[in-house]
Structure 1
Amino acid sequence: MPQCSAKGCRADAVWVLAWNNPKLHTPERRKTWLACDEHREHLSKFLGVRGFLKDVVRLEDWEESTADG
């Protein structure tokens, strides 16, 4: 099972935070961080205040959508 991207966290990931840095990435590019329930809001805010956060999706839904593509 994938783990949360928060520093020091070993919990199972439940969420995918899709983001990009417009200074480095093309608009359609999506980088991802994984988050457990506890760290989803903190990681979302970290990316959001920088204008990087594009989407927050449940991991199972993300895996289904990327398997189709």
Structure 2
Amino acid sequence: MEPDVCSAKGCRAPATWQLQWNNPKLHTPDRRKIWLACDEHRASLESFLGARQFLKETVPHTPA
């Protein structure tokens, strides 16, 4: 089975973080969407979501 990979465009690195977010215009407050991030792209993906006030929480990713 392939490892879970980072959601950053073009990145194929294994994911080590889950960025949990929602768009309040589209989702109920308790709904969480997930982007996966490697260590290198965690900050840039958090910044992108944070600038839009979508980021709710970042937690370590444990593959299923």
Name 2:16's counterpart in structure 1. Answer: 14
- Runs of at least 5 residues in structure 2 that lack an aligned partner in the other structure: none
Q: Could you tell me how far apart the structure 2 residues matched to 1:2 and 1:27 are?
A: 26
Match of 2:61 among 39, 44, 59: 59
TM-score by length of 2: 0.93
Structure with the bigger percentage of helix: 1
Match of 2:38 among 26, 36, 39: 36
Identity %: 65
Deviation at 1:35, TM superposition (A): 0.2
**Could you list the runs of 4 or more consecutive aligned residues of structure 1 that deviate by over 6 angstroms after TM superposition?**
none
Q: Could you tell me how far apart the structure 1 residues matched to 2:4 and 2:43 are?
A: 18
- Runs of at least 5 residues in structure 1 that lack an aligned partner in the other structure: 64-69
Number of residues paired by the alignment?
A: 62
Name 1:5's counterpart in structure 2. Answer: 7
2:64 corresponds to 1:45:
no
Please give the root-mean-square deviation of Cα atoms over the aligned residues, in Å.
1.3
TM-score by length of 1: 0.86
